[in-house]
C-alpha cells in the first residue's frame, strides 16, 4: 500500500460532511417574507382620519364610545378640508385676483403703453393734463395709482417666496408620502398581528395602537375620500400662496398674506386641538397629561427588500437626512423664486421697471420727498424713499 505524503493534511470526512450540511442549511435558510418599518403619525386631522379608518374595521373589538370617537375624528377631517378649500377660494377670488389684474395681458398692455408714452413725452405726467381724452385720462390715472401702490422691493418678494416655497415643499411632499405609506402598509394576510385586540384603554406602547394593516378596499377608500381631497387643497394652497406673494404690492400686504396663509396651512393640526375630543390624544398616541407629544402611534410599513440604487440610494443615504436635504431645498427654492419673478409673472417685474423709469425721468423723483431740489408738484406724487430703493431692479428696461 502506498504511503501518504508526509505534509498532506489529515481530513476528518465525518466532521467535514457535518460542517458542509450546517453551512448549506444556513445559506439556504429562507429570508423573512417582509420586514416592518415604523413611520410616525402627525397630529393632524388627515392622519387622524386614516387612523380612524384603520380602527373602524375592528368595530367588533371596541366599545361604542370608542367607535363614535373614531367616527368623529373622520368627520372632523372632512369638515376641516371643506373649511380650507372655502378659505382658499375666498382668498383666491378676492385679494389674489385683484392683485393679479393689473398684470394680465389686456390691462398690462394698456398700462405699459401709457407708461412708455409718458416716458417718451417727458412733459406729460400720468393722470394730469395734457391727456387727450377722458379714457386716456382714466387710464393714466389708474396707471399712476398702480405705480405708486407697488412699493415692495424685489428682495422682499424673494424672501417671502423662498419661505413660501419651504412651506409648500413640506405640505406637498408630506401629502405625496402619504400615498407611498398607504400603498406599503401590509394587507391583512401579511400582518403579524391581525388577531390582536384593539385595546384603547391602554397607553400607546409596543405598537398596540399602530396602523398595522389595511385591506385593498380600505386603501382605495382612504385614497379617494381622504388623500385625494387633501392633495387638491394642498395644490390649491401652493398656487394661491405663490400668486399672493408674487403680486403683493407692499411689504405690509405681504406680511399679512403670510399670516393668513400660515393659518390655513396649520388649520389641520389646530382643529385637532380646538375641536378634537379629549380622547383623540389617546387615539393618536399623545401624552395628554403633559402636552401634545407623539409617543408611539406609527404607520407600520413594509421595508423594501431590494438594495437601493441610483436616486433611491441617494435618498436613503445620510446626506439626504442632514446637510444634503438642506442644500437641495435651498437651491430649489432659489430656482423657484427666480422662475416666479423673472419668467412666470414677469409682467409685474416689467411694470415696476417702467414705473421706476417714469418717476425718475418724467416726475423727477431722484431724491427723497422733502429735499429742496423737488418741486411742489413732485413732492406730492413722489415716493418717500429714493426711486432706486422704491423700485430696485434692472438698471434699464428693454422692450
Summarised one tens digit per residue, pLDDT across range 37-48 is 778 888 889 999
Banded pLDDT at 86 (limits 50, 70, 90): very high
Omega before residue 382 within 30° of 0, cis: no
In contact, 281 and 292? CB cutoff 8 Å = yes
More confident residue, 228 or 118: 228
Summarised one tens digit per residue, pLDDT across range 232-246 is 999 999 999 999 999
- Tell me the range of 94-103, 296-305, 306-315 where mean pLDDT is highest: 94-103
Summarised one tens digit per residue, pLDDT across range 106-136 is 889 989 988 888 888 765 677 665 555 677 7
In contact, 112 and 354? CB cutoff 8 Å = yes
Comparing CA positions, the residue from 147, 170, 168 lying closest to residue 391 is 147
Element (H, E) at 334: helix 323-339
In contact, 297 and 48? CB cutoff 8 Å = no
Banded pLDDT at 54 (limits 50, 70, 90): confident
Amino acid at each position: 500500500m502506498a504511503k501518504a505524503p508526509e505534509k498532506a493534511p489529515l481530513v476528518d470526512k465525518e466532521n467535514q460532511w457535518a460542517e458542509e450540511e450546517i453551512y448549506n442549511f444556513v445559506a439556504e435558510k429562507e429570508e423573512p417574507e417582509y420586514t416592518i418599518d415604523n413611520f410616525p403619525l402627525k397630529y393632524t386631522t388627515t392622519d387622524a382620519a386614516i387612523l380612524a379608518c384603520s380602527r373602524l374595521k375592528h368595530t367588533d373589538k371596541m366599545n361604542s364610545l370608542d367607535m363614535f370617537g373614531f367616527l368623529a375624528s373622520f368627520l372632523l377631517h372632512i369638515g376641516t378640508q371643506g373649511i380650507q378649500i372655502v378659505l382658499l377660494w375666498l382668498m383666491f377670488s378676492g385679494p389674489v385676483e385683484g392683485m393679479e389684474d393689473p398684470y394680465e395681458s389686456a390691462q398690462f398692455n394698456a398700462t405699459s403703453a401709457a407708461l412708455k408714452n409718458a416716458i417718451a413725452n417727458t412733459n406729460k405726467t400720468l393722470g394730469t393734463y395734457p391727456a387727450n381724452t377722458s379714457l386716456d385720462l382714466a387710464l393714466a390715472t389708474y396707471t399712476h395709482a398702480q405705480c405708486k401702490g407697488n412699493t415692495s422691493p424685489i428682495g422682499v418678494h424673494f424672501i417671502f417666496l423662498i419661505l413660501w416655497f419651504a412651506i409648500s415643499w413640506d405640505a406637498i411632499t408630506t401629502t405625496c408620502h402619504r400615498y407611498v405609506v398607504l400603498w406599503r402598509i401590509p394587507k391583512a394576510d401579511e400582518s403579524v398581528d391581525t388577531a390582536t385586540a384593539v385595546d384603547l384603554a391602554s397607553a400607546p406602547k409596543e405598537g398596540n395602537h399602530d396602523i398595522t394593516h389595511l385591506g385593498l378596499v380600505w386603501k382605495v377608500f382612504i385614497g379617494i375620500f381622504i388623500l385625494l381631497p387633501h392633495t387638491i387643497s394642498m395644490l390649491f394652497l401652493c398656487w394661491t400662496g405663490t400668486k399672493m406673494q408674487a403680486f403683493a404690492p407692499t411689504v405690509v400686504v405681504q406680511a399679512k398674506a403670510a399670516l393668513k396663509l400660515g393659518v390655513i396651512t396649520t388649520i389641520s393640526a389646530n382643529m385637532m386641538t380646538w375641536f378634537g375630543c379629549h380622547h383623540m390624544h389617546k387615539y393618536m398616541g399623545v401624552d395628554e397629561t403633559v402636552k401634545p407629544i407623539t409617543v408611539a402611534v406609527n404607520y407600520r410599513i413594509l421595508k423594501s427588500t431590494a438594495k437601493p440604487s441610483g436616486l433611491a440610494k441617494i435618498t436613503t443615504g445620510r446626506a439626504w437626512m442632514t446637510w444634503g436635504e438642506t442644500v437641495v431645498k435651498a437651491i430649489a427654492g432659489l430656482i423657484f423664486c427666480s422662475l416666479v419673478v423673472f419668467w412666470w409673472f414677469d409682467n409685474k417685474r416689467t411694470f415696476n421697471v417702467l414705473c421706476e423709469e417714469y418717476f425718475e425721468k418724467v416726475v423727477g423723483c431722484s431724491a427723497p420727498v422733502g429735499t429742496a431740489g423737488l418741486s411742489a408738484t413732485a413732492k406730492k406724487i413722489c415716493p418717500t424713499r429714493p426711486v432706486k430703493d422704491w423700485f430696485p431692479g434692472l438698471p434699464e428696461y428693454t422692450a
